[in-house]
């Protein structure tokens, strides 16, 4: 392990148990505090984005993991820090080749951090269960009960474009995603 010791904090990827990312991150933070190794560790991230999901007519916002089963950790890699991380329950291994932890490339770190910053300032995406080409029925508005084909989906604004046949002519409507249902 000593050949990778540089004294510099680098980003690494940890393989962890899926759906336990948050509890594993909390356990790592607790172990780091107990061992007094705060100087050897930086941020521990679970890359996610905010999405809006509608159930029973109510919109609710939640975080969706971008990489389920993985945690990004900023740390100085040495024997002590390596063992602390590896001995934490739920941690599988560092991502790398042949069991040797490989730090992330700088462009990967920039992309990951940029995505996180971009998402924290942006509006949450709306989770839309439809895709282009789906046939839907309009359930609200002046074209209620008309059927049409989805031409476009805008997750940022929660809108969909639907092409309907009205008196023998094709017309494109922009509707809120909740105004339609699957046929």
123-160 tens-digit pLDDT: 666 777 888 999 999 888 888 889 999 999 888 778 89
Number of domains in the chain: 2
**What CATH number does residue 85 fall under?**
3.30.70.940
CA atoms within 13 A on the CB side of 171: 11
pLDDT band at 63 (very low <50, low <70, confident <90, very high): confident
Supply the range of the domain harboring residue 46. 2-126
Question: Same structural domain for residues 142 and 161?
Answer: yes
Inform me whether the pLDDT recorded for 38 exceeds 60.
yes
Q: Per this entry, what is the length of the chain?
A: 183
Q: What is the pLDDT of residue 85?
A: 92
pTM: 0.60
């Amino acid at each position: 392990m000593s050949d990778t010791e540089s004294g510099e904090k680098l980003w690494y990827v940890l393989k962890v148990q899926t759906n336990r990312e948050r509890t594993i991150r909390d356990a790592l933070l607790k172990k780091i505090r107990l061992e007094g190794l705060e100087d050897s560790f930086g941020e521990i991230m679970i890359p996610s984005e905010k999405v809006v999901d509608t159930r029973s007519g109510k919109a609710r916002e939640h975080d969706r993991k971008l990489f389920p089963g993985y945690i990004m950790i900023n740390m100085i890699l040495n024997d002590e820090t390596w063992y602390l991380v590896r001995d934490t329950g739920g941690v599988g291994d560092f991502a790398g080749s042949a069991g040797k932890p490989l730090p992330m490339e700088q462009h990967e770190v920039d992309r990951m951090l940029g995505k996180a910053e971009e998402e924290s300032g942006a509006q949450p995406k709306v989770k839309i269960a439809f895709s282009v080409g789906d046939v839907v029925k309009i359930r609200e508005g002046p074209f209620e009960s008309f059927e049409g084909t989805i031409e476009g989906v805008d997750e940022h604004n929660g809108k969909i474009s639907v092409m309907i046949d009205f008196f023998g002519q094709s017309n494109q409507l922009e509707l809120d995603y909740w105004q339609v249902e699957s046929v």
